Amino acid sequence: MKRNYLHYITKARIFVATALIIVITVLLRYLNEGFLPIGKLPYQYMTIQNTPSYLLDILPLTPPVLLLMASVSAFLIIILGYSVLTRYIREDMVLVGLILFAMSPVFISMILLPTGTSLALVCLLLAWYLYPHTWLAVLLYALIPLIDFYGGVMAAIVYLPFAKYHKTKKIIPVVLVPGLLLYLYHPFQTFPPRFGITELGAGIGGGAFLLLLVIIGFAHVWEYKRTYWYIFLTLSLTLLLTFFHSYLASYLILGLSIIGAYGFLSIIKRNWALREIKHISLFLLALGLLFSLMSYLNEVKSDPPTDEIAESFRPIAGTAGTVLSDDEYATWIRYFSHKEPAYGHGENTSVFHTRSLERAESFMRQEKVSHVWVHPEMLEGAVWQAPDEGLLFVLSADSFEKIYDQQIQIWSFLAFQQVSQGQTI
């Protein structure tokens, strides 16, 4: 009997597999670093720093709530994705596409790095799902830019294939304009991870084996480029935007997973001349996809901020003054210590490398530095190369006292402490 494995891929199994991936991901993170989301954007939401999400900035969020929100969003994307995509594409292809998406590294990052972008994707899919009820769909559409600026831009872009398919001339994306305009008064900044192939060190993106399937898929669908030009155009625009704002990788990889599914099905359904290697090839492919997933999960399960970082701020949380550290840690300093980071307008770097006590103290008085927070990575090349280099040498002076000495070290600037206790410097 001809085996093609497709009967194993059912709707229920895909949903269960997705749920398992989500649970395992959250559990692994919890066991390693607690319920702390990775990256900086979630902590920007929680400290109400201007982010691309107007709505998340004003909501009272906590790390576990964010993780829960991201997990539910990820699951909803799969369910809604199935409901919406099966209207346009063959069910087997949608199912394979969705499991490829769920097994891709970007899906893991959607769970552990909660952003408005994936919440906006849920809203977009829900709007499409409710489409015949136009007013509800339009309402959801209008909500998207409030959830995420880039989600709003994407909603406008993906409307093109939608309108072409449904032959509708209603310009629904107009409802996005007020939401997008809001960001003129709500300027934002993001620190997205590097987009690319995760096995090659990218912080967010797809796996190498998915890419391989996408290439095979494209080789097959390329002949339809004239008929479905708008899909190719939408994907190209999404790819372009993703390079600027890597959180959009979730939109891109979802689209590419469907193309990858085409590649996967073409391998399965192909009449192989060498039957003996068909099964090994499919096995290798499955292992490769699994390898991408496991390898990424293994990397991000202990990504910063770690439990150790959170714990180190406990002794200084809520005290007066600022914290001097590498700019890289500014967002986490603000969230965990409830203090402002002292990253001194370009002068910071020179302070790290000065061996002059006078100069260092002058900077610290000016910036109201109460503590110096040093992560091991700063000692291993991120800031300093040698153990007594620059400010590290200065810290051994009597003006400083080491108050935290684990892998992370914290020095208290005694002169500031005296001032805050009413004495003069």
Partner 1 sequence: MNRKGVTLVVIFLVFLAIRLLFAFQAETFSDDESYFSLRQVEAITDSGIPLYEDSLSYGGRIQLFCPLFYYILAFFNLFMPITLVGKLIPNIIANTVIFSGYLLVHDITRNQRLSLIISGLVASVPIFFSQTFNHISSLVLVFPLSLLMMHAFLNINKSKTYTKIFIASILVLSLTHITAYVIIFGFLAYLLLLRLENLQQTKAELEIILFSVLFVFWTQFIIFKKAFLEYGPAILLQNIPRQVVETQQVLVLDIITLVGILPLLGGMYIIYKYSFKEKKRPIYLLLAFFIVLAVFMTTNLIPLSIGLIFSALLLTILFAQSVKLSLLFIDRSKFSHLRGLMILFFVLAYGLTIFVPTLHFSAIELDNRLSESEVEAMHFLKNHTEQDAVILTPYILGHFVAYNAERTTVADGNFLLIENINQRFEDIREMYQTDFETKAIELLNKYDIDYIYISDRVKDFYGIRQVGYVTDQDCFQLVFEEGDIQIFKSICDLK
If the CB atoms of residues 241 and 267 are measured against partner 1, the closer one turns out to be 267
Per-residue tokens: 215: 């290439």
> How many residues contact partner 1, by CB under 8 A?
28
Q: What is the DSSP letter of 205?
A: E
User: C-beta of 167: minimal distance to partner 1 in Å?
Assistant: 38
Is 273 near partner 1 (CB under 8 A)? yes
Among the listed residues 38, 155, 21, 153, the one whose alpha carbon sits nearest the alpha carbon of residue 98: 21
**Residue 304 in the binding site for partner 1 (CB under 8 A):** no
Question: Measured in whole angstroms, how far is the alpha carbon of residue 187 from the centre of its chain?
Answer: 20
How near is the Cβ of 408 to partner 1 at its closest, in Å? 22
CA distance 50 to 350: 28
- φ, ψ (nearest 5 deg) of residue 260: -60, -35
Shortest distance in whole angstroms from residue 30 CB to partner 1: 24
Task: Give dist(CA 272, CA 398) in Å, integer.
Answer: 76
| Selected binder of partner 1 within 65, 208, 237, 414 (CB under 8 A) | 208
CB-wise, 289 or 364, nearer to partner 1? Answer: 289
Minimum distance of partner 1 from residue 24's CB (angstroms): 20
Q: Does 281 bind partner 1 (CB under 8 A)?
A: yes
Nearer to partner 1, 21 or 289 (CB): 289
Phi-psi region of 201 (alpha: psi -120 to 50; beta: other; left: phi over 0): left
Is residue 374 within 8 A of residue 409, CB to CB? The reply is yes
Stretch that binds partner 1, among 81-89, 163-171, 281-289, 309-317 (CB under 8 A): 281-289
Subset of residues 90 to 149 that bind partner 1, contact rule: CB under 8 A = none
> Alpha-carbon distance 175 to 84, whole Å?
21
Q: What residues form DSSP beta bridges with 195?
A: 204
280 binds partner 1, rule: CB under 8 A: yes
Answer for which of 113, 210, 214, 285 binds partner 1 (CB under 8 A) is: 285
Report the distance separating Cα 66 and Cα 40, nearest Å: 13
The reply to whether 218 sits near partner 1 by the rule CB under 8 A is no
Which residue in the set 47, 182, 239, 299 belongs to the binding site for partner 1 (CB under 8 A)?
Answer: 299
Give 196's strand partners.
Answer: 205
Among 278, 359, 365, 368, binds partner 1 (CB under 8 A): 278
Task: Name which position in 274, 358, 423, 424 contacts partner 1 (CB under 8 A).
Answer: 274
Q: Does 212 bind partner 1 (CB under 8 A)?
A: yes
Q: Is 398 in the site for partner 1 (CB under 8 A)?
A: no
Strands 409-413 and 195-197, bridge-based pairing: unpaired
Between CA 155 and CA 144 the distance in angstroms is: 8
- Asked if 103 and 21 touch (Cβ cutoff 8 Å), the reply is yes
Q: Which is nearer to partner 1, 139 or 287 (CB)?
A: 287
The one among 86, 295, 302, 349 contacting partner 1 by CB under 8 A? 295
Q: Is the dihedral of CA 310, 406, 317, 353 positive or negative?
A: negative
Closest distance of CB 128 from partner 1, Å: 35
- The 178-207 site mask, x for binding partner 1 (CB under 8 A), equals ------------------xx-xxxx-----
Q: Reduced to 3 states, what is the DSSP secondary structure of residue 245? A: coil
| Geometric angle at alpha carbon 39, from 38 and 42, rounded to 5° | 85
Nearer to partner 1, 146 or 202 (CB): 202
- Please, which residues have CB within 8 angstroms of residue 151's CB and are 6 or more apart in sequence? 116, 117, 119, 120, 121, 123, 124, 144, 145
Q: Which of 276, 358, 398, 405 binds partner 1 (CB under 8 A)?
A: 276
Q: 62 vs 24, 69, 107, 131, CA distance in Å?
A: 21, 10, 21, 33
288 binds partner 1 (CB under 8 A): yes
When the beta carbons of 274 and 425 are compared against partner 1, the nearer one is 274
For the segment 350-389, give every residue that binds partner 1 (CB under 8 A): 381
Q: Which is nearer to partner 1, 114 or 196 (CB)?
A: 196
Task: Provide the pairing of β-strand 322-324 with 369-374.
Answer: parallel
Report H helices in 222-320.
229-244, 249-269, 275-300, 307-312
Residues contributing to the site for partner 1 (CB under 8 A): 196-197, 199-202, 208-209, 212, 216, 267, 271-274, 276-278, 280-281, 284-285, 287-288, 291, 295, 299, 381
